[in-house]
Amino acid sequence: MRTKLSRPLGRSRIRTLLLHNPASGDGLPRADQLIVEACKLGLLVSYQSTKEPRYKVALRQGWDLVVVAGGDGTVAKVARQLRYRKTPIIILPVGTANNIARSLGLVSKQPIANYLTASLRDLNVGTARGPWGNLAFVESVGLGAIADAISQSENKPPKPFRVTTGRDELRDYLKTAEPYHVEISVDGKVYVGEFLFVEVMNLSFSGPKLALAFSASPDDRLFDVVFLSEQERGHMLDWLAGHPDETPPPVAVHRGRKISIKWFGRPLRVDDCVYFHPETTSKVKIRFQSKSLKILVPA
């Protein structure tokens, strides 16, 4: 859902938190460049690097505007720590995959000025409750081949190659991956079967810029639960080798608001965090947080 701000940003001095990951993407823009750009627009800027622990304290304070310069991990930190959910957020997508920005329609770098008269769009935030407690997530919760591949991946490749390498590694893993027995409830309807993976998607994109839930919307308060069957293994391998950020994948999709997973045997991922199963079977409950993030999205 898109709404307009009650008053355009930039018409008065705005208390702005600039949250920046200096390690995102190619390291540009630099912090000093962003500060100069924001100050020229009349914003009252307070800078915080996500590499310093004080960013958590800053996100719990009141701001008129939060500018996030980074990738998906940086935006996810905001989702977990931002106390005042009505605060407008500008996402400057300078990461590698930029799945969150891409799912919102932010596909290119733009100057901060372009956002100041933009419309607000909700970004729903999910919560996965399991043995670890409650954990907020933005992209996906998943079982099977993708979670397994993440858990077994070694050091990250150089940033310019991470998307391509990630797709290649997942494709290689899927060639021999064993199906996983899944028991999952979607709004009370139970699905039981053998699947190569199941991903509970909040966005259309996840992982190495994969449009796993091609028609998902980040503001509809519905999860797209994506199932890949053994029968579609070959088609999925072809899809990964083609244009997986531009075409729908060969998966089944069921949509719902309340998801429960019977978890045992293999790793489970919550965004880019991987958890290994406890000694006994556990239940993972997936819901939406009551309040969404408010993202400024230029037309």
56-72: pLDDT as tens digits: 999 999 999 999 999 99
**SS3 assignment for 269-287:** EECCEEECCCCCCEEEEEE
pLDDT in tens, 130-176: 999 999 999 999 999 999 988 887 666 555 557 888 899 999 999 99
Please give the domain boundaries of the chain with CATH numbers for all domains: 2-124+292-297 (3.40.50.10330), 127-288 (2.60.200.40)
Q: Is residue 6 scored above 50 in pLDDT?
A: no
Q: Are 47 and 55 within 8 A, CB to CB?
A: no
pLDDT tier, 278 (very low <50, low <70, confident <90, very high otherwise): confident
pLDDT tier for residue 28 given thresholds of 50, 70 and 90: confident
Handedness of CA 45, 48, 50, 55 (dihedral sign): negative
pLDDT at 22 over 80: yes
Name, in order, each residue with C-beta under 8 angstroms of 283's C-beta and a sequence gap of 6 or more. 130, 260, 261, 262, 263
Q: Report pLDDT digits (tens) over 212-221.
A: 999 999 999 9
Grade residue 2 by pLDDT with cuts at 50, 70 and 90. low
Burial per residue of 122-154, b for 16 or more beta-carbon CB atoms within 10 angstroms, e otherwise: bbbbbbbebeeeebbbbbbbbbbbbbbbbeeee
Whether 35 shows a pLDDT value over 90: the answer reads yes
Q: What integer is the mean pLDDT of 20-39?
A: 87
